[in-house]
């Protein structure tokens, strides 16, 4: 199948490699031009395989539209694209356009699905391949692959799992779409949720929340993201102590403490403690 891939990062690069391995023809790779280096790896992958690499500030520009008209793709694939494709763009492929979304749609539509699954304490997440239509993340589902979220896993671990799934699920989806008898399924509207991009306020530690809530937040926004914070402390990792009798005797009031002797941050929350020796002070 002849495809054009829209994307920005290592996830897009991994999908490009996997499609080439399965014998698909990549006509071009299109990326938003953010005037930084986030697309560098993707560009290197495209150049390595002599694939046309197109950058534009606006992925819905006339330049991109004219390019698609000239190359005539069978399918457009969006992979980790943080821009919304307009109908004048996604309608230009013979078999339409698909998006790879890092959640079990329709749960966690929007721009922070990987974080939300951890923040909400979910025991599983997944990757969904769906058609692109006029509204965000609402198109019919082509393929889904689930995976477990372990109770102590951080966002980086989850992303590594998803990257491996991306490499499998996109070629598998194209195989389904090459079968004229294949029928996608509609999303279950009983389970819809939507979240926008994470704001700074979403990363702030609230000492009135439970131990599990704060622990989930720390895991969800740690590296490679900006981290959970309280005042001028950024917490990259934490642990829930197995025993807390000594802590209960030392820290009577709910709050945020720094122990200079152990060089640890201690969070006393309404139902227990979190400890961290992996933090930064700004």
**Which residues are tagged catalytic?**
101
Number of Cβ within a 10 Å radius of residue 127: 25
Dihedral through CA 105, CA 156, CA 166, CA 69, nearest 10?
Answer: 90
Q: Cα separation of 98 and 132, whole Å?
A: 5
| Beta carbons of 127 and 145 less than 8 angstroms apart | yes
| Beta carbons of 95 and 103 less than 8 angstroms apart | no
Q: Cα separation of 282 and 280, whole Å?
A: 6
Q: In this structure, what token pair is assigned to residue 63? A: 């330049």
Q: How far is CA 233 from CA 51, 130, 192, in A?
A: 44, 40, 35
């Amino acid at each position: 199948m002849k495809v054009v891939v829209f994307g920005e990062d290592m996830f897009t690069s991994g999908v490009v490699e996997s499609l080439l391995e399965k014998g698909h023809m990549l006509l071009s790779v299109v990326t938003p031009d953010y005037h930084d280096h986030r697309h560098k790896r993707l560009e290197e992958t495209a150049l390595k395989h002599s694939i046309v690499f197109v950058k534009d500030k606006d992925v819905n520009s006339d330049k991109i539209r004219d390019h698609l008209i000239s190359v005539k793709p069978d399918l457009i694939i969006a992979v980790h694209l943080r821009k919304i494709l307009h109908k004048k763009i996604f309608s230009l492929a013979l078999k339409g356009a698909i998006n790879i979304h890092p959640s079990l749609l329709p749960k966690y539509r929007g721009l922070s699905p990987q974080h939300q699954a951890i923040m909400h304490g979910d025991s599983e997440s997944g990757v969904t391949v769906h058609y692109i239509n006029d509204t965000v993340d609402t198109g019919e589902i082509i393929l889904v692959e689930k995976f477990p979220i372990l109770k102590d896993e951080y966002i980086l671990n989850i992303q590594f799992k998803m990257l491996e799934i991306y490499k499998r699920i996109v070629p598998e989806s194209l195989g389904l779409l090459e079968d004229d008898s294949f029928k996608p399924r509609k999303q279950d509207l009983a389970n819809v949720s939507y979240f926008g991009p994470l704001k700074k306020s979403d990363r702030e530690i609230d000492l009135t929340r439970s131990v599990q809530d704060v622990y989930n937040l720390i895991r969800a926004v740690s590296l490679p993201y900006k981290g959970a914070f309280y005042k001028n402390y950024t917490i990259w990792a934490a642990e829930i102590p197995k025993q807390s009798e000594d802590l209960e005797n030392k820290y009577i009031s709910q709050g945020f403490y720094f122990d200079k002797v152990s060089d640890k941050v201690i969070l006393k929350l309404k139902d227990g403690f979190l400890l961290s020796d992996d933090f930064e002070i700004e």
